[in-house]
Amino acid sequence: MATDYYGVLGLARGASDNDIKKAYRRLARDLHPDVNPDPEAKERFQEVSKAYQALTDPEKRRIVDLGGDPFDTGGGAGGSPFGNAGFGGLGDIMDAFFGGGGMGARGPRSRTRAGGDALIRLDLDLDETVFGTTKDITVDTAVLCDTCAGAGTAPGTHPTTCATCSGRGEVQSVQRSFLGQVVSSRVCPTCEGTGQVIPEPCAKCGGDGRVRARRTISVKVPAGVEDGMRIRLTGHGEVGPGGGPAGDLYVEINERPHPVFTRDSEDLHCRVTLPMTAAALGTTLSLTTLDGEEDVDVRPGTQSGTVLTLRGRGAPRLRATGRGNLMVHVEVETPTKLDAEQEKLLRELAVLRGEDRPGSTTEGQGGLFSRLRDVLK
């Protein structure tokens, strides 16, 4: 059974990115090995860190929301999402919280951080994926707050220096032990490591610098895309906290089934059924392709299973020139019922072709026409 990563953080499904980060920070402050040496706390911290990684990555969160576990094929359930280097200092994990400058970095973190990527599925018909199209899609993402322009402050106000940490973004505590005094640093609980506080938050965004909004984006779909491919729209994802740069939007192509054609990369396939007489005598088929009506010549004596190739009538090759082919699979239909006149004519044909000669077959089996007659009875 997949792990309930929302439950690990004490959240309900559908929690916002901000709620996930706040829950993670709250739990990590209590469970990190630098501040809590209890072995159970260390194990719990690993679970919380793994849940945070699963829910902050758009693709992993999508798997979680579908009931799966994004780490099933990874390096094991007990591994740390932050690599195999073990647990660093408390400042290291806070760097992961706030996008700091690397391991061992100290000092205030920027309130402005990059936004995450977003994913949306786009349903298209076969002719749209083959020839390309332009579609308008509606997305619901975090956008820049137009009231404070990402600053998070009410109009006419500005952030002030945090009185708890004096702008350093961290506070220190001294503990006595049998080894002497131990000085440890932790992220400031008042400003959450930024060194600043917002005394009067923006009424529209609540100090986050961004709001949820629904907008319409035009997507140009290139000719030849296939089911499951993704189109990347740079800068159209989630705007970051504090008005940070937006992530990317990925549009995943979902090709609807076609009633006639199936697709194999750049080649298209279809099936046609021919009467026995048409296959024997030859004919010309009028076939409706994605490019329009096409005349297809069927040679006399065509057998069931024959594949007729219409070159250049498939899908364009994305990373090369030209187009694939349309493969027409022929199935010859044998009649199941004959009236008296039709049976008479077939008997005469069998005689003319020498296919109704009982003496030329193994005893007890009868001729070809005899076996056909028995089937048609």
Query: How far is 276 from 117, CA to CA, in rounded Å?
Result: 58
pLDDT on residue 1 = 58
- Quick check: 194 and 135 in contact, CB under 8 A? no
* Alpha-carbon span 317 to 325, nearest angstrom: 11
Residue 264 pLDDT:
94
Q: Which fold has domain 1-87?
A: Helix Hairpins (1.10.287)
Q: Where in the chain is the domain with CATH 1.10.287.110?
A: 1-87
Q: What is the pLDDT of residue 36?
A: 76
Q: Is the pTM of this model over 0.75?
A: no
Report pLDDT for 73: 53
* Residue 311 confidence (pLDDT): 95
Which tokens is 275 given? 């009467």
Q: Annotate 201-252 with DSSP letters as a single string.
A: B-TTTTTSSEEEEEEEEEEEEPTT--TT-EEEETT-SPPBGGGBPP--EEEE
- Dihedral (C-alpha) 91, 96, 101, 103: value to the nearest 10 degrees? 50
**Do 103 and 88 form a contact (C-beta atoms < 8 A)?**
yes
Output the CA torsion sign for 270, 275, 276, 278.
negative
> How far, in Å, CA of 328 to CA of 246, rounded?
47
Token code pair at residue 193:
């490591």
Residue 278: strand, helix, or coil: helix
Q: Percentage helix, strand, coil, to 5, in the chain? A: 25, 30, 45
DSSP single-letter state for residue 324: -
351, 343 in Cβ contact below 8 A? no
> Quick check: helix, strand or coil at residue 286?
strand
Angstrom CA distances, 82 to 37, 95, 186, 349, 350, stand at: 19, 11, 19, 80, 80
pLDDT of the chain along its 377 residues, tens only?
A: 568 888 889 898 888 888 888 888 888 878 877 667 788 888 888 888 888 888 988 888 888 887 778 876 543 333 333 333 333 344 444 444 444 433 344 568 888 888 899 999 999 999 999 999 999 999 999 999 999 988 999 999 999 999 999 888 888 877 776 556 677 788 899 998 889 999 999 999 999 999 999 999 999 999 999 999 999 999 999 999 988 899 999 999 999 999 999 999 999 999 999 999 999 999 999 999 999 999 999 999 999 999 999 999 999 998 889 999 999 999 999 988 889 998 899 888 889 888 876 554 444 444 444 544 554 44
DSSP 70-120: TTTTTT-TTS-TT-SS----HHHHHHHHHT-SSTT--SPPPS--PPPPEEE
CATH 2.60.260.20 fits 262-333, yes or no: yes
In the chain, where does the domain assigned CATH 2.60.260.20 lie?
Answer: 262-333
